[in-house]
Structure 1
Amino acid sequence: MLKKLLLLFLTIGQILAASSFIGEGKRAELFEITDNEVPTFRITISDDSFEILRQAMQNHRHVFKKNPNEQKPKNEVEFEKVKNATMIVEINGEKKEFNKVQFDLGGSSARTYGRQAFNIRIKDKKKDLYGRSQFRLRSDPRDATSLRSKLCCDMLNRMGVVSISANYVLLYVNDEYFGFYVLMDAPKLPWVEQVFGEKDTTNLYKCKSGGLYLTEQSCAYGCENENDDVTDRAEWIDFLKAIDNAKTVDDIEKVLDIENYINTAVFDYLVGATDHFFGLGHNYSMYKNPKTGKWIMIYYDFDSDLGQDIIMFDYYNFRPLESKDFLHYTVKEWFRNNNMNVIKIGVFDNLPYFEKTLAKVVKETFNPAVLFPHIDELKEFIRPYVVHDKTPNENGIHPGVLNFVNPTDYNLEHFEANSEFTTINVPDIGSDAYECDPVYMDENYQYPIDKEVESEIDFNRWDGFDWVKFLGFDPSVMEPQPEESKCLAEKIGYPCCKEGNTKVYAHDANGDWGYDFKAKEWCGITPYDGRKDDEVCWSEPLGYPCCKKSCIVYEIDNDGKWGYEDNTWCGIQSYCS
C-alpha cells in the first residue's frame, strides 16, 4: 500500500508543469527542480535518540516567553540536536546520500501543536543538495492551507527581493512517516555563502525575540550574530547608530539597502503581516553586503501572513484603533506602532517611492489575475498529500501528528475552505485589496464562503490579558504627575527652581530655565499660570481625552502628539507646544 501511495504522489508530481509565476534563475536549483515534485527526506538517528525525540515532541504548554524562574515540568524531555545523523534524499529520480548530517527539533510556539518542525544541516562541506546545505522543515500547524509560507516566498522571489525560498517535502525518521512539510531555506552562514559568495560572514544577525525595531537600544545585543566566533559587534552597532541619528532618507540609504527595504515594507503591508519587523519586531535577519557596504533585511517565518492571526495587529497595543477594518488601513495606520527612524524617515518620509513600489507590486505580483492561478495550481499540487495527512488512521489521529499530548490539527474541510475565501478560527484579509482586474474591483462581487466551517474574528481576544504577568512589569503604568504644577517645567517632568535660584540660563516654549548646580539638573523658573484647556479637544473624536496633568510626549503620529495619564492615552494640548 505504501509503495502504491508513493507512486501516486510521484505521478501527480510529474504531471504539474513548472510554475511560471516566479521565473527561472531566481532561486537555488533545489527549489527550481522541486516545483514539479515533492522529494522525500529520510533521516536516520540512533534508537536512543529516536526515543528521546518521541518524548520531547510531547508538549502541551503554550509558552509565549520563557520565564527564568519557571521550573521545568518533571516530565518534560529536552532533545539535543543529533550531530551524526545520516540522510537519503529521493529527488528527481535519484537518491542522494549524506553521512554527515545535523538533525534537530525546530520552531517555537509550533512545538505545542500536533505537528512539529525540524532543522537539518549537511555538515560535509564538500557536499550540498542542489545548491543548499541547511534546511527548515515546517509543518505550519497554524495554517490550515499549507500554502502561506510557500506563497509568501514565491511572491518575494517574483518581486526580486532578497529572500529565502520554499517548496514541499515528505519526511521519514528511522523509516517512520513524519508527515508533509514546507521545505524552506535557512538564512544562515551557508545560505549567505551560496547566495552572496561570502564565506563565514561576520555580519549576519538574527532578530528573533520581539521588539527589535533597528534601534541601538533594542538591537545592539537583542539580535544574535549567526557566527558563533564573532565577539566584536562594532559594525552592527555603528549601523544602528547611523539609523538612530538619520535625519533624511539619504542618511538611511547610506547604510541600508533602501530598495530591498521598501519592497519588504510593501510586501508586509499587502499581505497583512503582523509577525515580522513592522509588526512585532522579529522574525527577520540583517546582513551586510560586502559589495555595497549596505545592510539588507531578510524575512523568515511566513505562516502568520496573508490574514492569519490578523488580530495580532492589536497584540501588545495599548492604543488600538477603534476600526477593525484592517483591509482599508492606510500605510501610517498599519505601521503606526513604530515611531523609529527607519520607519518615520525610511517609509513615511519616503512615501512617493513607497507608493510607486506598491503600484508596481500590485500590478505584477499581488494581482488576482496573476496570483490566483498560482494559488490554484499550488492547491491542486499539494492536495493529494494534504488528503493523505488529513485522513485519520484507525486511532483517529492524522498521519504526521507527532505530539499526542496535544494532537490538534485542521481537517480537510478547513484546507478546502481557507485556501479559498472562508475565514476559519483566524481571519483572512479579503482579496478586494487588489487592483487591475475589474472582476475583483466590483464592490458587489461575492466571494464563495463555506458557512459550515466559517468563523469570525475575535476582536476582544486581548481584553483582560494579564500583561504584567506576561512581561514581568506593567508597561502601561507611568510615573504619577503632580495634580497641580507650580512651574511650567513640572509639566514636562522637571522640578521647579528653589527659592532664590532665579538666574535664567535658557528660554523655550516652557518658559525660563535655571540650573540647580547642587542637584546637577535643569529647573523651571516660569510659574505655571493655570493655562486654560483647549476649547475643543482634538483627540476626543478619536476616543481619547486631552491630557490634564502633563505635557510629556510619549508618541507622535499623523493625528498629533500623545501623552499618557490615568492608564490611558491622551492628546497633548496646544499650550504644551
Structure 2
Amino acid sequence: MSINDHLSIPHFHITAIPEQLEKLNKNIYLELWIPAVLRLDQDEYQIKLAYRGSHTRKFPKKSFQVKFISPTDYKGEREFHLNAEYADPSLIRNKLSFDFFNRIGTLSPQSYHVLLSINEQFAGIYLKLESVDNRFLQTRELPDGPIYYAINSNANFSLLNPKTSEVKDSLEEGYMRKCGTAADDADLRTFIYKINTTPVAQFEAAIEKLLDVDSYLRWLAGAVCTQNFDGFIHNYALYRNRETERFTIIPWDYDATWGRNVNGRLLKHTYLPIEGFNSLTARILDVSSFRLSYCSLLHAIFREHFTEIALEPEIISLQQLLHPFIHLDPNKRDGEGIFLSERGFILSFIEKRRTFLMESIELFQAHKK
C-alpha cells in the first residue's frame, strides 16, 4: 500500500540541495537556516528550513521550522513548525493537548497532522503547528502586542536562576522576543520584578493589573490535567495585550503529556501536584479568591472536559486518521502495536489522573485554610 492510496492527510514535499541538508546534520544544535522548496497543493514555495527544538534534536527524526520567502505566505502564514513527535508512540499527545486547551478556554496553537517527504524520501508523519506570532493574534482578532517564547528554565517567573539559585543577570533571561520591540522588554522585566517583590497584602490587586489571571488559571488547569511537567518553567509563550496592558500565557510543545515524559517513558499519574510549580503559580494560589476560582474551574473541567467519555472520540478519530501510515513511517514501522495500545494507555491515565486530582482538591483546599 503506497502513501498515495490515502488522501486523508495533506502531503508536504520539501526539496533541498543534499549538501545543504548535510550542513544541518553536521551540527544539529547550530541555528542554521538553509534554502529549500516546499510543494503544497501543487504550488511551490521558496522557503528557509531549520531544525527546531532543543532536547528533541538528538532524536533520529528531527523537527523543523519553515519560513516562507516567495510567495511570502501560505494561507496567511509566514512560518510554521513541523513537529516529529518522535518520542510519543501515539503521535497525538501534542494535538490532543492543544485541542483540550482550546476546549477549556485557553489560547493555544492550531495543529493538524501531515505527511512529509524530503527529496522524495518519506520522512514520516508530522504535526504541523501554528506559529505564535502576529498572525496568531490577527486570526483571533486580538490586539497587537509583544510575544515572548520561554525557551529555557530561566523563564521560571523568578529572580533566581533555577540551576544555580543565584540572581539572574537580567530578568528577561530565558525568553526570546518573537514579536514587539526592545522597548517592550521593560514591561516584561517589570512583570517579573513585581511578581517577586510585591507584598502579600498588595499582590492580588497588583497582579490583576499585570496578568489576565483567569487565562492563567485556565492554562494552569490544562497543564495540570495533561501533566506537562516541563511547561511551568519553559515551553510556553507570553503575550502582552497592548490595550489591557496585561500578559496572557499560551501553551507550547505538549508532546510530553498524558502519562509519558520527554523521552516517551512512563510518568506516574501522581507525578505533578495539583498546584503545579513556579514562582507565579505559588503566589497566585496563595490568594484565597484566586485559589477558589482555580478549584471551581477544575471541578467544571472534571465534569465536562477531562473525562474518558469526552476525550475518547478524539483519540479514536486521530488514531484512525494516522493508522494507515504508521507502517510507512521509517521511525514507526515496528511501532504499530504500541501505537494502537496507546488509546487504552491514555484513557487509563485520564481516569487515574482525574481521580487523583479530584482527591487532591479537597486536601489542597483544607491545607490552605
- The normalised TM-score by structure 2 is 0.82
CA contact (8 A) 2:147 2:239 kept: yes
Query: Pick from 207, 211, 219: which aligns with 1:252?
Result: 207
User: C-alpha displacement at 1:6, in angstroms?
Assistant: 3.0
Query: In the alignment, which residue of structure 1 is the partner of 2:282?
Result: 344
Higher RCO (C-alpha 8 Å, min separation 6): 2
What secondary structure sits across from 2:6 in the alignment?
helix
Query: In the alignment, which residue of structure 1 is the partner of 2:63?
Result: 117
Q: Distance in 2 between matches of 1:415 and 1:192?
A: 35
Query: In the alignment, which residue of structure 1 is the partner of 2:254?
Result: 302
User: Gaps (5+ residues) in structure 2?
Assistant: 162-170, 359-366
User: Does structure 1 residue 270 correspond to structure 2 residue 232?
Assistant: no
User: C-alpha displacement at 1:150, in angstroms?
Assistant: 0.9
User: Does structure 1 residue 417 correspond to structure 2 residue 341?
Assistant: yes
**What are the within-5 Å matches in structure 2 for residues 36-435 of structure 1?**
38-53=9-24, 55=26, 80-82=32-34, 84-90=35-41, 95-99=42-46, 101-124=47-70, 127-196=72-141, 201=145, 203-217=146-160, 219-227=171-179, 230=182, 233-246=185-198, 247=200, 248-277=203-232, 281-309=233-261, 326-327=269-270, 331-332=274-275, 335=276, 337-338=277-278, 340=279, 342-349=280-287, 350-389=290-329, 399=330, 411-421=335-345, 429=349, 431-434=351-354
Cα deviation 1:214-261 (Å, max 9, x = unaligned): 134554233222249636621111222232234333321211111110
Query: In the alignment, which residue of structure 2 is the partner of 1:5?
Result: 2
Q: Distance in 1 between matches of 2:73 and 2:306?
A: 33
CA contact (8 A) 2:259 2:269 kept: no
Q: Distance in 1 between matches of 2:174 and 2:273?
A: 30
2:349 counterpart letter in structure 1: I
What secondary structure sits across from 1:276 in the alignment?
helix
CA contact (8 A) 1:131 1:194 kept: no
User: C-alpha displacement at 1:40, in angstroms?
Assistant: 1.4
Q: Distance in 2 between matches of 1:345 and 1:78?
A: 37
Q: Distance in 1 between matches of 2:331 and 2:258?
A: 24
1:276 counterpart letter in structure 2: G
Q: Distance in 1 between matches of 2:81 and 2:328?
A: 22
Q: Distance in 2 between matches of 1:81 and 1:385?
A: 29
User: C-alpha displacement at 1:204, in angstroms?
Assistant: 1.5
Root-mean-square deviation (CA, aligned residues, Å) is 3.2
Q: Distance in 2 between matches of 1:272 and 1:158?
A: 17
Cα deviation 1:60-102 (Å, max 9, x = unaligned): xxxxxxxxxxxxxxxxx957311x4221113xxxx33323x11
CA contact (8 A) 1:41 1:172 kept: yes
2:352 counterpart letter in structure 1: D
- The normalised TM-score by structure 1 is 0.54
What secondary structure sits across from 2:244 in the alignment?
coil
Q: Distance in 1 between matches of 2:272 and 2:44?
A: 50
CA gap of 1:375–1:232, structure 2 versus 1, over 3 A, is closer
User: Is the radius of gyration larger for structure 1 or structure 2?
Assistant: 1
Cα deviation 1:251-286 (Å, max 9, x = unaligned): 212111111100011111111111101xxx111111
Q: Distance in 2 between matches of 1:103 and 1:44?
A: 10
What is the percent sequence identity of the aligned residues?
20
CA gap of 1:54–1:135, structure 2 versus 1, over 3 A, is same
CA contact (8 A) 2:225 2:354 kept: no
What secondary structure sits across from 1:144 in the alignment?
coil
More displaced stretch, 302-311 vs 109-118: 302-311
2:337 counterpart letter in structure 1: E
1:369 counterpart letter in structure 2: I
What secondary structure sits across from 1:253 in the alignment?
helix
**Structure (1 or 2) with the greater helix fraction:** 2
Q: Distance in 1 between matches of 2:317 and 2:132?
A: 27
Q: Distance in 2 between matches of 1:208 and 1:329?
A: 21
Q: Distance in 1 between matches of 2:153 and 2:345?
A: 30
Cα deviation 1:444-466 (Å, max 9, x = unaligned): xxxxxxxxxxxxxxxxxxxxxxx
User: C-alpha displacement at 1:410, in angstroms?
Assistant: 6.4
CA contact (8 A) 1:171 1:181 kept: yes
2:148 counterpart letter in structure 1: Y
2:40 counterpart letter in structure 1: V
CA contact (8 A) 2:238 2:250 kept: yes
What secondary structure sits across from 2:341 in the alignment?
helix
Cα deviation 1:113-156 (Å, max 9, x = unaligned): 221111111234x6533343321111121111101001001111
CA contact (8 A) 2:327 2:334 kept: no
